[in-house]
Amino acid sequence: MEYGCTIAVAALPQEQSQPLALSLRDADQWHTTFGSGRESTAGVKVNHKSVMGYPAFWRGVNLLANGVAGLPVDVFKRTGEDREIDHKHPAQKLIKRKASPVQRARKFRKTMQAHALIFGNGFAYIERSGPMNTGNPVAMWILDPQSMIVRYMDGEL
């Protein structure tokens, strides 16, 4: 069973007699219907690519993403009432040194944080060893947040 909304109905403008059905995938129609538009009042198109060209926006994203990426991060194991760093856990290497064969862990964390700031979420695929990808994590690959759809199914995201 799949939960979620795929069509929304906009409020009726005075001159319209039928409700306007909007697909959640039609961003242009959403912007037109609700008045935000794809262009600013100055006529400049604003999207994730154009705003990165503004030094203040880029600097803010860069400062926050670098700051978060530089925070200490470890995998812990419980030892009774206490906890200690689990240096042997397979994910420890991924989050501390190399997230994948082509990307260091800090760059991975910085990119994930930047995606979260710009798009609202950051996504990664966890590659695992073993048959059917069921073993220990061996790599984390960044996914394009604009290509992801978050769905609520059977009580889980």
Name the strand (E) or helix (H) holding 116: helix 105-119
Same domain assignment for residues 53 and 94: yes
pLDDT at 47 over 60: yes
Answer for the pair 115, 122: CB distance below 8 angstroms, yes or no: yes
Same domain assignment for residues 131 and 157: yes
pLDDT at 30 over 80: no
Same domain assignment for residues 37 and 57: no
The residue whose two tokens read 């530089």 is 70
Domain that holds residue 2: 1-46
Same domain assignment for residues 138 and 62: yes
Q: Residue type for 8, please?
A: A
What local confidence, expressed as pLDDT, does residue 10 receive?
44
Most distant pair of Cα atoms in the chain: their distance: 68
Percent of the chain with pLDDT over 90: 50
As a whole number of angstroms, the distance between CA 23 and CA 32 comes to: 13
Residue 83's CB is within 10 A of a number of other CB atoms, namely: 11
Q: How many residues comprise the chain?
A: 157
Answer for the pair 109, 117: CB distance below 8 angstroms, yes or no: no
What local confidence, expressed as pLDDT, does residue 23 receive?
63
